[in-house]
Structure 1
């Protein structure tokens, strides 16, 4: 097995005519820069760390997510097929809700920004932090509007994040329109969550990351019931690669799609094509 720590796009040029296109619906360009020393979108798309990807894809579209104010760029990446999202990670609380809303609102006006997020709740932190997270989440939802997707980070203490999902669904219903476009980042919930979110928000999309490799049968059953036209795949790079010992980049999004295809008992091409079409539609790319 060949091991890489370099750009590999050029090596794939000869076979690009048979390499399928892919949409990476959630990756962190700023964090990848710190971890991989790869700072440009153009280089990151074709960069691999570790074994050559088992599923070769050409990442033609995607969304770069910036959720740490310390690393908001002065200029957001601008390339055909790609957009940026700006939010505030629940583990990165701002000094005040009002200040956070003003800060994110200013970034949302910048060229290339197509979504609000990621925002949400993360109950892997100490319990005393949860009320501030909830206040921050509700405050940032003031910036939501149906034409702009909201990317949600929902992580709880149980395997399926059931309590966090239920609370977040209630807060979304109280503070946004039913026509809001919703992107559930790194989804690992159960069938009740798929049905609940789909009913409350018909324009809700479920995004599957590398953690799918560790899903139990309850989570796999949920993946099988996600409507094909609401399914996305992501790398969440530099985190959550299917092969967990290596850092993640866009080059490995095909490995996620393959796991999803195996669970749904369908073809890799169907999952890649669905994610590509759904991502372009969701983000108007």
Structure 2
């Protein structure tokens, strides 16, 4: 039972075979997926996917790259989507100072506004953090985001900061780069973060794990990330899969489909 906690099945890269990719993941043990939005359009698409498949859930939000498109009307539309039955988080939201596709001040404004939306709704948040580690940590604390749940998506910072996040109740999501040669930083995170605070993800169609690096990523490949986590922790694949599966259920507040009749 594998849980891909972050995948973008609405991506145009799946336009020609989306249903096949989804069913292939299911037949390869991926029992649950969360599809976060990155824009208003993709948030709407994420909700539609969640309504079409019982094992897919959605998150809604606007990525820092698209913060420049946001206004109050769009925020209200995100709020409306967030109230749909199978929407389990606000995300992915955050800061990205690597590309700066939106001006830093604009990113900050709409990151905070979406954190406040999540707080009003009592929903957890999925955080995108690229080259903004210290600022994001301080902002999450200032906005009391940890009160309702924080998931650090595709975590790329240090084990030391990860442990500070965990102290505040956050979860750390591990993606395909943990399988890349010499990625000692992420391996150290997996070694030092308690297993009960780790999730796994693909971020498909991006960040494809070994041995498929260079190909389009898809949810089926979350198994390779889980295998690497198991290897690092010195446990079986089954133990790693069950732990990260249960962690995903707990973080997102999803009932275990194995016990729901």
C-alpha distance in 2 between matches for 1:179 and 1:272: 27
* Structure 2 residue matching 1:244: 3-state secondary structure: coil
Unaligned runs of 5+ in 1: 1-20, 49-55, 157-163
Match of 1:67 in 2: 38
- Identify the structure with bigger relative contact order (alpha carbons < 8 Å, sequence gap 6+): 1
1:103 is the counterpart of 2:69: no
Q: Return the TM-score normalized by structure 2.
A: 0.86
Match of 2:29 in 1: 58
Match of 2:155 in 1: 187
Q: 1:116 to 1:128 in 2, by over 3 A?
A: closer
Q: Return the TM-score normalized by structure 1.
A: 0.79
Answer with 177-186 or 84-93: which moved more. Answer: 177-186
Match of 1:206 in 2: 172
* Per-residue Cα deviation, 1:220-260 (whole angstroms, up to 9, x for no partner): 21211111111111111111111221111111111111111
Q: CA deviation at 1:97?
A: 4.3
Q: 1:123 to 1:279 in 2, by over 3 A?
A: same
C-alpha distance in 1 between matches for 2:186 and 2:221: 21
Q: 1:24 to 1:126 in 2, by over 3 A?
A: closer
Q: 1:281 to 1:81 in 2, by over 3 A?
A: farther
> Which structure has the larger Rg over C-alpha atoms?
1
* Structure 2 residue matching 1:27: 3-state secondary structure: coil
Q: CA deviation at 1:76?
A: 4.4
C-alpha distance in 2 between matches for 1:254 and 1:82: 17
Match of 1:233 in 2: 200
Count residues with an aligned counterpart: 246
Q: 1:171 to 1:226 in 2, by over 3 A?
A: same
Equivalent positions of 1:147-226 (< 5 A) are 147-156=122-131, 164-199=132-167, 201-202=168-169, 204-214=170-180, 216-226=183-193
Q: Name the Cα RMSD after superposition.
A: 2.2
Higher helix share: 2
Equivalent positions of 1:24-39 (< 5 A) are 24-31=4-11, 33-35=12-14, 37-39=16-18
* Structure 1 residue matching 2:126: 3-state secondary structure: strand
* Per-residue Cα deviation, 1:70-107 (whole angstroms, up to 9, x for no partner): 33237342333431111111111243442342231121
Q: 1:126 to 1:149 in 2, by over 3 A?
A: closer
Higher strand share: 1
Match of 2:61 in 1: 87
Q: CA deviation at 1:179?
A: 2.3
